[in-house]
Structure 1
Amino acid sequence: MSSLKIACATVNQTPLDWTGNLRNIINAIENAQKPKVDLLCFPELAITGYGSEDLYLSYWYPQKALKQLEKLIPFCKGITVAVGLPVRIQEKVYNCMAIIENAELKAFVAKQFMAIDGVHYEFRWFTPWNANEVINFDFFGQPIPLGDIVFSKNSVSYGFEICEDAWRGDLRPGYRLKERNIDVIFNPSASHFAMGKSSQREDLVRNSSTLLNATYFYINLLGNETGKMIFDGEILVAKNGELLLKNEILSFADFQVRTFDYDKNRGRYPVIQSQHIKNEEFVKAASLGLFDYMRKSRSQGFVLSLSGGADSSSIAILVAEMVRRGIKELGVTPFLKKLGLVYIPQTEHPEKEILREIFTTAYQASDNSSYATFQSAKSLAESIGAKFYNWEISDEVKSYTEKIEKALGRKLTWEKDDLALQNIQARSRSPIIWMLANIQSALLLTTSNRSEGDVGYTTMDGDTSGSISPIASVDKNFILQWLKWAEIELGYNGLKNVNALQPTAELRPNENHQTDEQDLMPYSVIVEIEKLAIRDRRSPLDIYYILKEELGIDSDILKNYIKKFFRLWARNQWKRERLAPAFHLDEFSVDPKSWCRFPILSGGFEEELKSLEGE
């Protein structure tokens, strides 16, 4: 025999949910056993969940993972199962795949390279395994091989590259697997979602199948495990440089199993084509992220301060899409059950009915708010079915202002106290919207985007208040174009008023005609500067030379934009340190806890910015 029915299973796991995690794995195994799958592979660290952070450093946590593995083994009768978990050997912890064959533990394969870029911090927890090294590990009194090991079943040889292993170019373990003439290579991964990353993975899998002369299987974790990173649950298979299998990513299900009939002697398989739409990837990931965040935090819904502008409106649409997509995939009853809700819809339009139960919005008007933004917020909330309130905050602003004026012995004026008078409006909105969220046991959604995070264009303890910030890792330019796409492609007619408005904080008097881009610079310019400054870590002078050629902006104006960006960036690191947890959705972010670290106190790039003067 030289054929195998191979399956890959993605699972939505949660650290410390031992019962739920084990149940998902067992259910996936039983699903694979029905069509008599020979070999089933799960992602890395599937038993614990990838995002266990410093729990890996404890002695008890890896030990409990081994006990979960021991519980799992009896469920693997008549099938070979590969499943990921941490394994501690004395002072060191290794990221391993356990191989179980017909209810008997055969071996552990250890990861050889650690991810340390961007959101990854694996060297803090794990030790890389040495190539070609194998030891015996004491598994509750039974010696089990652990290390760099390959396997065979039905005359089909197979081995593993665990996530980061495959991204190490000429150093990757796959080349040694090729030297051993391995037929099938599995890549069990915990690779965070980012827009455009699925296309990169397809290239990796296709190229790997050619370079390593093997059929290459990729299996990723699924869902929002711990709040920030979202895993898309991607399953891919390639041979001879051609993509043969790809699942529907970002599923609301607890697990997915996809099967592939492998024949060592078969020359060609049907080739599939994939499609990558960035706007669609964004809404799928964010809506799944919201769904998992709500259910795993055991919250009863969401509350949003809906200003009628782009940021809060985009989040309102993401919540609506969470409900629409979740119901479409799971059905009404399973969707509600997963959220822990006992509500029973009474109408023929369950989406809007459910949305009204779990989503509350409020327009909080100050003296500087316009009727246009009120109408924008109201019409959008009503169009999607969200509960909508509106109230004035003028009395609160007046009360705070009068107290300070009395203390200082003078009147506050826009000429002298502009920033303070703007900020007190945003801060006055926070306590009451928090109160509403507390009453409803709901999550308060924060509306900051990445462009605002770059330059601190946000009021601390005001519009930064919240439990989760869904769009904080995407730039404002993307949000603006996505809203226009969502109006047309997703059919949200309630966005018509939103898309007609120019972005504004509406914190200065109306006659001031305040807009965000007048306060800062064009959002399109912020995007280009931040890519070079934050993603590529370029100096101010480098950025000037690059953008002078690319943007065609007057030299003095461009210099001023660059100076303003870097000064605001350096001045506002303390704000980024205090922003609400944010979904990681784009190729980079400004989150200092997961992607971009910067000193709170610094010289503010003054010498670097002076270098622009001579140019």
Structure 2
Amino acid sequence: MRPNPLLIPTEPPVSTVCRLALVSVNQTPLAWRENERNILQALSEAQQQVADIIIFPEMSVTGYGLEDILFYPQLLENVENLLRNILPQVGNQVVCLGFPFQFEGKLYNVAAVCFQGKIKGLMAKRTLANTGVYYEPRWFTPWPKGERKKCHILGEDIVIGDWILQIDGYRIGIEICEDAWANIESRPISYLSTLKPSLWINMSGSHFSPRKFLTRQQMVAGSSRYCNGTYVYVNLLGNESGRLIFDGGNLVAQDGILKHKGSRFNFQTSVVDSVDVALPERQPLKKSAKVIHITDFHFKQAKGFAPKPITNFEGESIYEEMTYAVALGLFNLLSKTKQKGFVISLSGGIDSSALLIFCHFMIMHGCNLLGMAGFCKAISHRPVGSLKELTQSLITTIFQATENSSPTSQQLAAALAEEVKSTHFDWNISKIVEMYHDLVAQAMGIQLNWNEHDIALQNIQARVRSPGVWMVANLKGALLLSTSNRSEAAVGYCTMDGDTSGVFAPLAGVSKQRLIRWLGWLQSHEWGRAYPSLKEILRQRPSAQLRPGLEQFDEDDLMPYEILEWLEEHVLLHHYSPIIVKEKIQEDFMALPHEQLMGWVDTFYKLWRTSQWKRERLAPAFHLDTFSVDPKTYLRFPIFSGSGE
């Protein structure tokens, strides 16, 4: 990528131009060789662009998503070995790297400042993320405000703690991700402000969620205004380890004005943004225990151009963001597991249709970004001659009819599969369902009927669909994807070992209503032209199609999906009590009957409380919203509990 110089103000007088290289890397826990290669490749690219300061994100050496691997001492040995390979490649540039470091028996999340093959100092994270999907205090210790100590690493005695870097007469401060979101009094940008740094760096590991990029832009611009200088934000990239998707999007702001927005959701293993910033004149700082001096460094004074300043904080729309995020997540699901594609049980309904389109978009977008040959290489796939051949190889869809399946659903599934060009199978499982009916009825000595055995007769149809798709996935060496969504997980409207079957549930972090809105948005977008069947798919009311001779609709069994989404947000995100929920829902849905609303609220609480065992067994999902029902990484709830009365 060519340097993207910034507009340099004429007042106050400018003495120095600093070329920054902002590096987003897509790392993988324990993939030491790949992680080292990614860093060295980005380092070489930044050096070729004559960067003065090269900034990698938080935990860039190891990847952020290490989880309990952080408890293993061998990890720290591997980190040091990797650093021994990287540091000799660090020349006359200041390079910032992130990794875990043990000091005095405690583990810290640190930023290392490197120069001429050595680590010059370690800055330790002060504020640990401990909300939502983040559990940093489980592994790390927060660094005490204002403390500095001596530590030993790779044969050198250096400083660890709170300090400011001074190079060529200019001072630089560092914050690590969550440090920037703390109360202003607790931020280094505040309590180290008397040292007057010209430049502040934030090395971050911030995962995607809707509109979060806008919030980051506001934080970066506000921080630059507060420090009366330049604030730089560098973020991780990619689906590192399964659930979290890091979107990149490096940022630079000066004096409250956003100057640079880097690319997001890139499929490359590393992205280097070279940016020129003006450092205003400062008086050299007298010697201080709070300052680390690098005396041999001199800015290269690379000259640049002046593009227009960025005057707004906009990004992609919420649905466009989600499209790119899921595509990146699916891409890394393939590239990092080395599996040979995806298998989807395609019903012709909202969830499976949305999942199929996401998979198809991932292939098209990946080929557009990397070229078809580059995309195939990235996912360890043999070379192919056409997009159609690639799609047929990577995506297998299966429609499994029973006597209760709608011909319309069967036709829509076939139509969408043809539009996508997936390998599509259409088979009937009615005889297998009937065989189980006879087997169980004879063994138990009962006559099965829909009046007495409704749930069992519905569930066996869903469960019989599971072995066939699993077998196809095994034979193809592919990943079976579950079509679950968050709304159905919240109320347990799913069949365990049936429609929940799969290695991964990409959309289980998204409400059903949002998926419906996303498909509607897609239909109106130019991307939607590739899927003419979408119009008719959206016209169909969601239905499990498991009961005979009746129109069975999900919203009749549960409640309108709009109401269900509202309850998910107010109960699971905002944690309102039942009394407050009942008050607020009447205010927001005044046109609906009071008794009906109260009945839906009671139904939600009952189904939520009794369905935790199902959520414990759901396949892992991408985090695609501000909250989820994932009991392993977000929302914990007792497996069994009382009614709360």
TM-score, length-normalised on structure 2?
0.91
Aligned residue-pair number:
600
Separation in structure 1 between the aligned mates of residue 567 and residue 623 of structure 2, nearest angstrom: 20
Give how far 1:259 is off: 1.3
1:301 matched to which residue of 2?
A: 341
Q: Distance in 2 between matches of 1:327 and 1:154?
A: 44
CA distance in 2, matches of 1:72, 1:131: 30
Letter of the aligned partner of 1:247 in structure 2? G
Aligned equivalents of 1:5 and 1:435: distance in 2?
A: 54
Bigger mean CA deviation after superposition, 428-437 or 198-207: 198-207
The alignment status of 1:275 with 2:315, answered yes or no, reads yes
Instruction: Give the corresponding residue for 1:613.
Output: none
Residue deviations 1:178-212 (CA, integer Å, cap 9, x gap): 22211111111111111111111111111111122
Please state how far the C-alpha of 1:367 moved relative to its aligned partner.
Answer: 0.8
In the alignment, residue 413 of structure 1 is paired with which amino acid? N
**1:59 touches 1:88 (CA, 8 Å); kept in 2?**
no
How big is the shift at 1:411?
A: 1.3
Residue 640 of structure 2 aligns to which amino acid in structure 1? L
Alignment partner for residue 493 of structure 1, among 532, 547, 552?
532
> Contact 1:2 / 1:156 at 8 angstroms: preserved in 2?
no
Unmatched segments (≥5 aa) in structure 1? 608-615
Q: In 1, Cα distance between the equivalents of 2:103 and 2:78? A: 14
Structure 2 match to 1:130 = 144
1:269 deviates by 7.6
Match of 2:9 in 1: none
- Note if 1:462 corresponds to 2:498: yes
Residue 580 of structure 2 corresponds to which residue in structure 1? 542
Residue 611 of structure 1 corresponds to: none
Corresponding letter in the other structure for 1:384? V
Equivalent pair of 2:463/2:495 in contact (CA under 8 Å): yes
Q: Does 1:66 align with 2:80?
A: yes
Distance 1:344 1:555 in 2: 59
The more displaced of 104-113 and 421-430 is: 104-113
Deviations 1:392-441 (A, max 9, x none): 11111111111111122121111111111110000000011000000000
CA distance in 1, matches of 2:533, 2:92: 54
Query: What root-mean-square deviation, in Å, do the aligned CA atoms of Structure 1 and Structure 2 show?
Result: 1.3
Query: Secondary structure in 1 aligned to 2:516?
Result: helix
Letter matched to residue 120 of structure 1: Y
Choose 170-179 or 116-125, whichever is displaced more.
Answer: 170-179
Q: Is the 8 A contact 1:487 1:494 kept in 2?
A: no
Q: Find out whether 1:331 has 2:371 as its counterpart.
A: yes
Contact 2:492 2:608 (C-alpha < 8 Å) held by counterparts: yes
User: Is 2:91 the partner of 1:77?
Assistant: yes
Using the alignment, how far apart are the partners of 1:293 and 1:441 within structure 2?
14
The Cα shift of 1:551 comes to: 1.1
Asked if structure 2 preserves the Cα contact closer than 8 Å seen for 1:504 and 1:515, the reply is yes
The offset of 1:139, in angstroms, is 1.2
Give the whole-Å Cα distance in 2 for the aligned partners of 1:179 and 1:506.
68
Task: Name which of structure 1's ranges 291-300 and 135-144 shifts more when overlaid on structure 2.
Answer: 135-144
Name the SS of the counterpart of 2:451 in structure 1.
Answer: helix
The one-letter amino acid paired with 2:383 is Y
**Matches of 2:228 and 2:582, distance apart in 1:** 46
Q: Residue in 1 aligned with 2:479?
A: 443
Q: Flag structure 2 segments of 5+ consecutive residues without an equivalent.
A: 1-14, 282-305
Shift, 1:156, TM fit = 2.4
Match of 1:432 in 2: 468
Larger displacement relative to structure 2 (97-106 or 417-426) = 97-106
Where do residues 435-584 of structure 1 align in structure 2 (5 Å cutoff)? 435-489=471-525, 490=527, 491=529, 492-509=531-548, 511-552=549-590, 553-584=592-623
Deviations 1:494-526 (A, max 9, x none): 3223112111111111x3100010000000001
Contact 2:373 2:383 in 1 (8 A): no
SS of 2:638's equivalent in the other structure is coil
Quick check: 1:302–1:437 contact (8 Å CA) kept in 2?
yes
Deviation digits for residues 271-305 of structure 1 (CA, Å, limit 9, x no counterpart): 21433301000010001100101111110000000
2:27 matches 1:13: yes
> Which residue matches 2:5?
none
Letter in 1 for 2:569: K
Q: Give the secondary-structure state (helix, strand or coil) at the position aligned to 2:129.
A: coil
Cα displacement (A) at 1:60: 1.6
Give the CA deviation at 1:604. Answer: 2.8
Deviations 1:17-73 (A, max 9, x none): 001001111111111111210001100101100000111112121232122112111
CA distance in 2, matches of 1:24, 1:494: 41
Alignment match, 1:311 = 351
Judge conservation of contact 2:199–2:279 (CA < 8 Å) in 1: no
Does residue 215 (structure 1) correspond to residue 230 (structure 2)? The answer is yes
| Contact 1:137/1:144 (<8 A) preserved | yes
Segments ≥4 residues shifted beyond 3 Å: none
Matched, 1:355 2:394: no
Amino acid at match of 1:479: L
Q: Which range moved further: 491-500 or 182-191?
A: 491-500
In the TM superposition, residue 173 of structure 1 has moved relative to its aligned partner by: 1.9
Structure 2 counterpart SS, 1:199 = helix
2:502 and 2:131 mapped to 1: Cα distance? Answer: 28
Distance 1:604 1:297 in 2: 42
Map 1:17-416; keep pairs closer than 5 Å.
17-170=31-184, 171-265=186-280, 270-272=308-310, 273=312, 274-345=314-385, 350-416=386-452
| Deviation per residue, 1:426-466 (Å, 9 max, x gap) | 00000110000000000001001000011000000000000
Distance 2:86 2:111 in 1: 14
Question: Residue 591 of structure 1 aligns with which residue?
Answer: 630
SS at match of 1:2: strand
